[in-house]
Amino acid sequence: MTQNGRRVEAAELALRDSMRRGIEPNATMYAGLIKARQRAGRHPRESIGALNRLEVEDGVTPNRVVYTAAMVHHLRHGLADDCLDLFHRMLIRGITADAVSYTVLMQACAASDSLEHASTLFSDMDAEKIEPTRATYNAFLNACAARAHSLATLPRARKSHLRKLMVNVSPLEPLKLAHRQLGAMAERGFAPDAATYMGLLRTHSAIGDAA
């Protein structure tokens, strides 16, 4: 068994031991268990199981940390749509999102080439008066890079068809959007880091692929 696998077993034993001692499990305990399972490479359905057990069996309302941990678990397995479903499930239960949960969802948008949704998320954050972080902007730049790449690699026939429908298929558009967000990032006082430049480089690289 790997070291991460042993940590999952230790976390599960600690949770069961606390229950035997009459200590009610709480959301923080389950968040730790979900994170341990994610690091051990366990399937995300275990995160859903933990959420359901927390709500149904233990009668504890999961908090934002639990949902965000479950979202990250699904995202690491490439399950961007499930990540979005968890985000909506959290909101339906009256749990407010924060910059961290929005950033995870923005990363899911990058993984699923959903630049429009990523842009909507920024509008939602603004409406909710939630300040984006540097990581939020970096995730958005990755969404721009994903869209630029998908447009640059579109088959010629598909491009022609979309142009007839008045759809802009130029990869320059996500590049322009990336630079606008970079400006907004600077206005909020965030200096670019390595992840920022990587997102920009990936977007510029896609333009080169289209040339």
Contact between residue 145 and residue 110 where contact means Cβ atoms under 8 Å apart: yes
pLDDT tens digits for range 73-95: 889 888 888 899 999 989 998 99
Better-predicted residue by pLDDT, 135 or 10: 135
17 pLDDT tier (thresholds 50, 70, 90): low
Residue 188 binned pLDDT confidence (cut-offs 50, 70, 90): very high
What H or E segment, with its residue span, contains residue 77? none
- Give 39-72 pLDDT, tens digit per residue: 777 777 777 777 777 666 666 777 888 889 889 9
Number of CB atoms found within 10 A of residue 7's CB = 17
Distances (CA, A) of 74 to 33, 43, 68, 148: 14, 8, 10, 24
pLDDT reported for residue 211: 44
Which residue shows structure tokens 């490439």? 78
pLDDT digits (tens, 9 = 90+) for 163-183: 877 777 788 899 999 999 999
pLDDT-derived band at 1, boundaries 50, 70, 90: very low
Position 207, amino acid:
I
Residue in 151, 138, 114 with CA at minimum distance from that of residue 198 = 138
b (16+ CB within 10 A) / e for 36-46: bbbbbebebeb
What predicted TM-score, i.e. pTM, was given to this entire model? Answer: 0.79
Rounded Cα distance between 24 and 150, Å, is 49
